[in-house]
Amino acid sequence: MRVEGNGLTRIEDPADPRIAEFRDIKERDLAGRQGRFIIEGTVVLRMTAAAHGAGSFEIEKILLLENRVEGVRDILADVPEDIPVYVASGAVLDAIAGFHLHRGILALGRRVAEPDLDGLIDSLPDKALVVAACGISNHDNIGGMFRNAAAFGADAVLLDETCCDPLYRKALRVSVGSVLSVPYARGGTILSLLERLTARGLSIWALSPSGTFDLRDIPAERQGITLVTGTEGEGLPDAVMKRFSTARISQRPGLDSLNAGMATGIALYEIARIQQKI
């Protein structure tokens, strides 16, 4: 068991170079920098620790508020001894982060290997349920989409090249760590992603308030269904709307649309039920 002085290192100076990656994290995020990302909070730390060494994600270092150490002893017990764990007072931790960090738990993670898109698609099961996203730049929406994907048994999330990185600190936190558990790939155009899924045999359904079919009328598909979500306001490109089947979520008049995270959650619930995943 780690105890201070035996596995834990105290940080007294916010400028200490050993914790440089955690400095001013609200303004400077590590997503997209050599695969590194910031972990925040107990739940996400626990999920990353569970994933450590499994081939996809690793923890490089941990920084804790001194009064949070006891509450995460069980997590630290699963973290290899060669991973440094630092502790600091509240004043020092806030000075490091650049704001009041009430959760008191930070870690630096690293994505070990980028996912292979073709391999991910080829590995999809029968009756696969896939989420595809186009142009989602809001980190809350990305995080919410992953959380919903995990809740309703989605087999994969595919993000086009215009979507933000789901390993951004806020997206990862909103997803309550689901970004680490739901298989995903990011890159390419939305059309290229959807054409690849079509070749695999999945039906494509584009979500839009102007969709031709009511969401509840989508039939079950033996080889699976892909739900496509676009940005709020602009929605999905015309090329997607014209090329694939479209569905709407029925709602009372007067509101233009639901946000992307909410719409994806409602659609996932309905399609997971149809596909008998829940």
Condensed to tens digits (0 to 9), the pLDDT of residues 195-219 reads 999 999 999 999 999 899 999 999 8
32-58 average pLDDT score: 83
Report the relative pairing of strands 203-207 and 156-159 from DSSP bridges. Answer: unpaired
How buried is residue 181: exposed, middle or buried, by Cβ count under 10 Å (0-12/13-18/19+)?
Answer: middle
For the ranges 35-39, 152-156, 177-181, which has the lowest average pLDDT?
A: 35-39
- What's the CATH fold of domain 3-111? 60s Ribosomal Protein L30; Chain: A; (3.30.1330)
The residues of the chain that CATH labels 3.30.1330.30 are: 3-111
Q: What is the mean pLDDT of residues 247-270?
A: 87
CATH for 117-274 is 3.40.1280.10
Q: What is the mean pLDDT of the chain?
A: 89
Provide the pLDDT confidence category of residue 1 given band limits of 50, 70 and 90: very low
Q: What is the mean pLDDT of residues 12-36?
A: 80
Q: Say what the pTM is.
A: 0.89
CA angle 178/180/183 to nearest 5° reads 90
Determine the pLDDT at residue 72: 94
pLDDT value of position 115: 78
Could you report the per-residue pLDDT of 86-95, keeping only the tens digit for each? 999 999 999 9
Determine which of 95-104, 186-195, 242-251 has the lowest per-residue pLDDT on average. Answer: 95-104
Average pLDDT score over residue span 2-19: 82
The overall longest dimension of the chain from CA atoms, in Å, is 64
Q: Where do the CATH 3.40.1280.10 domains begin and end in the chain?
A: 117-274
pLDDT of residue 32: 53
Tracing tokens 């009430």 back to the chain, one arrives at 102
Q: What is the pLDDT of residue 137?
A: 92
* Mean pLDDT confidence for 223-242: 92
Q: Pull the structure tokens for residue 219.
A: 């039939």
